[in-house]
Chain A
Amino acid sequence: MRMQHLGRAGAALVAVILVGGATACSTSDKSSNSAAAAPAATASNDAEAAKASKAALAAYKGYLTASRVASLDPDPKHPDLTKYVADPLLTRVRDAVRDLKTHGAVRTGKLASDPHVTTVDLAAEPPTVSIQDCIDSTGYKMVYANSKKPVPGAAGGRFVATATATRYPDGRWLISDGATHEDQPC
């Protein structure tokens, strides 16, 4: 499915994500910039890529905020989610939020995020932007709504997160895929 989304540049894109993931989130701007700035890139291409990066990061921030709002409620069908998130990630997020609800839990506190763009692929059909983040959820607690006691086993931490922003036919950039890599501290 991923390859289908990413199209021609898919293989290269996945490779970049893997490399970026391995080096954790030590703000690997050097390697990502060289990947984004393809040899034949023109000034207008750069401007387009910068615009796409900005829109994708805005969508990602919107996604994190919507995810937090929905997790605090918790409401798997929170209307803010569809403003920033697309399937299949939308369904996965709803699933996670519903799990909270089912167990009488909420997520509360501060979630730190430091996202940056690793790849812009405007030639892909649909166009995509890959984002890497170092999410710090140590201050973002999963607690029982009534007792405010922490849910056992939920520790939080600083982990690499990756996300894919996709441009939809109406021009919106939405976060369509993504994961927290809890085996990759940062």
Chain B
Amino acid sequence: MLTRRLLPILALFATLLAAPAAVAAPPGGECPPGQTDCWVYDEKPGKPGGGDGGGNNGGGRSKCYRAGEEVPCFDEVWGWLGSDGCYYKMAEPQLPSPDGSEGDWYTRTCLGGAAQNVWLTTPPGGLPDPEPIAQALAAVTLAEPDIHFKPDQGPGLVGLPVWLWVGQSPNTWGPVEASRSEGGLTVTINARVTGLTFKLGDGKSIECPTGGTPYPKGAKGPSPDCGYAYQKAGAYTITATTSWTVDWESNTGISGTITTERTDSGDIQIDELQVVTR
């Protein structure tokens, strides 16, 4: 593909539907060392695909066009089709930032041009959006809180300590990691609970960022970090809500953070103190 060089700047002006025409091969085109005569087949320069794996579509988009011609949204060698009509992939391996700015090195392959590395502080436009995949992945990975409270065998008493906590497994509390690949796009999520709220059912709620402490058998006093004492007798529904922070990243170089919540509930009966002492 080195045979038809295109000034990189031209690529900036290329658009999805009006990509520049391929430049004719200069005499004695340049191939990688050891890949002499690499232009010998070039009946359609810069045309992606060929062989297997070229026809996968990038996540989220069903069809891509360039210069009026349908092209794969994802190419196994070139990566994803950007909105400028060039393909982009993360450069392998990454080098440090050239100027201290935040960003990534991408390898860009434009129609008829040789692959070049470019430093981009924002991902190229037009790449598939990994966020819906991150959301779908979070939906199946993150479970509702494993709610516990004491007393739970029989009623509690007005003014006496209620202990509240949640079980802390990867899927109910984190940290938990999961990833999914669709058509060359790989999305990885890294999720953890960053907040826990118990609604006590009497209009009050408490925050328990630590997740609370499991009630040790025979303990007398209140929970050290997540307790409550009801002031009135009654039947209450306790609702635990975990707030998840989900960091996601994709192999397109795009990353982000989403937040989501999970809830579960249980019922508690609170009796007047004299009911028991009677």
Give residues in A with beta carbon < 8 Å to B.
1, 4-5, 60, 63-64, 67-68, 71, 76-77, 82, 86-99, 101-103, 107, 111, 113, 125-126, 133, 135, 137, 140, 142, 151-157, 159, 161-163, 166, 168-170, 174, 176, 178-184
Chain B residue nearest to A71 in the complex (CB)? B35
B78-115 CB mask vs A (1 if < 8 Å, else 0) is 10000000000101110110100000010101000011
Q: Are B37 and A159 in contact (CB under 8 A)?
A: no
Known: A67-B34, A88-B91. Contact between A77 and B76, CB under 8 A? yes
Q: Which 6 A-B pairs have the closest CB atoms?
A: A183-B28, A102-B50, A179-B30, A91-B115, A161-B33, A88-B115
Q: How many residues of B contact A (CB 8 A)?
A: 39
- Work out how many contacts link A and B, with CB atoms closer than 8 A: 152
Query: Which residues of A have CB within 8 Å of B105?
Result: 87
Other A-B pairs beyond A91-B115, A135-B34, A156-B36, 17, CB < 8 Å: A1-B8, A77-B76, A86-B92, A88-B91, A88-B107, A91-B77, A91-B109, A96-B32, A96-B35, A137-B34, A153-B37, A154-B40, A156-B37, A170-B93, A180-B30, A180-B33, A181-B28
Chain A residue nearest to B98 in the complex (CB)? A4
Q: Are B76 and A76 in contact (CB under 8 A)?
A: yes
Q: Are B35 and A151 in contact (CB under 8 A)?
A: no
Chain B residue nearest to A7 in the complex (CB)? B98
Query: Which residues of B have CB within 8 Å of A176?
Result: 117
Q: Are B32 and A180 in contact (CB under 8 A)?
A: yes
In the complex, B51 has a CB within 8 A of chain A: yes
Least distance between B52 CB and chain A CB atoms (Å): 9
Bound Cα distance A108, B263 (Å): 63
Q: Are A169 and B34 in contact (CB under 8 A)?
A: no
Q: Are A64 and B34 in contact (CB under 8 A)?
A: yes
